[in-house]
Structure 1
Amino acid sequence: MQLDIAARFAGAVVAASLLAAAPALAQDTAPFQLAQAAAPKAPEPSAEQMKLANELLVANGEASSFDAVIPNVVDQTAASFVQSNPDLIRDLREVAKQLSTQYESRRNEIVQILAKIYATEFTTQELRDLLAFYRSEAGKKLVLKREDLLKAGFSSIQAWSAGFAREMEVRVREEMKKRGFTI
């Protein structure tokens, strides 16, 4: 199954953002703890909901969309040492490769985090319905075509954005001209 480019990118961005924000979050956890204490706790999902959520993540392709998170975090961490130790780049790359292999088994932790979110947000019946869809021919087709659909969508949106930007440039110039400015 092809990996979902957008989800891989999003996963890498989320992981990098969390790593970058960790020191700041550690320094200022009191407001978060207060907000968390005030928020009602969602009930723990049942074992059946967790099982169905895990099956859904495999069926819809999301389980494999986070395959790049661990290697990306390891690579980014090793690369952060290159700036202060540029002579060690080869060794740091080798260490990153070694550690990526060692920590690959922890990928399931990521899937379990997502499974718990799905199991908490959807009822057992909703999970069954979603799973039925992703196991149907239309659902399987969506999973197989998702990467191509996203690529085509991103490309089309970029082309639209470029045209819209040109249109806005003309309109801004017109409006500024009405105010006596030529730009």
Structure 2
Amino acid sequence: MRLDIAGRLTGAALALAALAGALPALAQEQTPFKMNDAKGAQVSPERLKLANELLVANGEGSSFDTLIPGVIEQAAGSFVQANPDLIRDLREVAKQLAPQYENRRQEIVQILARIYAVQFDETELKDLLAFYRSAVGRKLVENRGKILDAGLAGIQAWSAAFSREMEGKVREEMKKRGFTI
């Protein structure tokens, strides 16, 4: 289950990054959510330690376990179109490279830890840790994948029904204008 969640999160992160790059006009029109700048902020070692513990407790630390192998596979796969005959060798190279770069996953965790350490003070981090270490917090982490899957399925069903409803409304309004569609 953890790999499924990580795969979905990785795919979602890559899709969001692509969307952000593809829609600059949309980004200009909307006011982005402003987080405190994590790059230049000074945080205490204790806050960073608590943030790292939080990432373990809430499961986010392992959410990106498949990111590095995925990026390596994508990089190798980018050469397939130019030379499809190399697909098997490119896959082997990707598998060979992945373990060499697995230790870079910690860089991702540190990015997230710094963000948490900037956003939350020490007391808040301790409160979050207490929650995620509680029975209900552990239950949330254990069931997050099922919850997300059920939520997405429900949203897809709602979206399909809403789309049919809107098609009917558009058809009705167009009929008022003398068009049959």
Q: TM-score range by the shorter chain?
A: 0.7 to 0.9
- Identify unmatched segments of 5+ residues in structure 2: 22-36
Q: What do you get for the CA RMSD once the two structures are aligned?
A: 2.0
> Is contact 1:11-1:66 (8 Å) kept?
no
**Match among 39, 50, 53 for residue 52 of structure 1:** 50
Q: Which position in structure 1 is the counterpart of 2:105? A: 107
Q: Within 2, Cα distance between the matches of 1:110 and 1:13? A: 17
Contact 1:50/1:115, CA 8 A, preserved across alignment: yes
CA positional deviation for 1:176: 1.0
Identity %: 65
Tell me the equivalent position of 2:126: 128
1:139-167 deviation digits (Å, cap 9, x = unpaired): 00000000000001111111111111100
Alpha-carbon distance in structure 2 between the residues aligned to 1:14 and 1:68: 17
Structure 1 residue 42, shift from structure 2 partner: 5.3
The one-character-per-residue Cα deviations of 1:55-101 (angstroms, maximum 9, x if unpaired) are 00000000110011101100000000011111111110000001111
**In the TM superposition, what are the counterparts of 1:82-93 in structure 2 within 5 Å?**
82-93=80-91
Mind listing any 5+ residue stretches in structure 1 that lack a counterpart? Answer: 22-38
Distance, in Å, in 2 between the alignment partners of 1:13 and 1:177 is 38
2:2 corresponding residue in structure 1? 2
TM-score, normalization by structure 2: 0.83
3-state SS of paired residue (1:44): coil
Aligned counterparts of 2:50 and 2:15: Cα–Cα separation in 1: 27
| Equivalence map 1:168-183=2 (5 Å) | 168-183=166-181
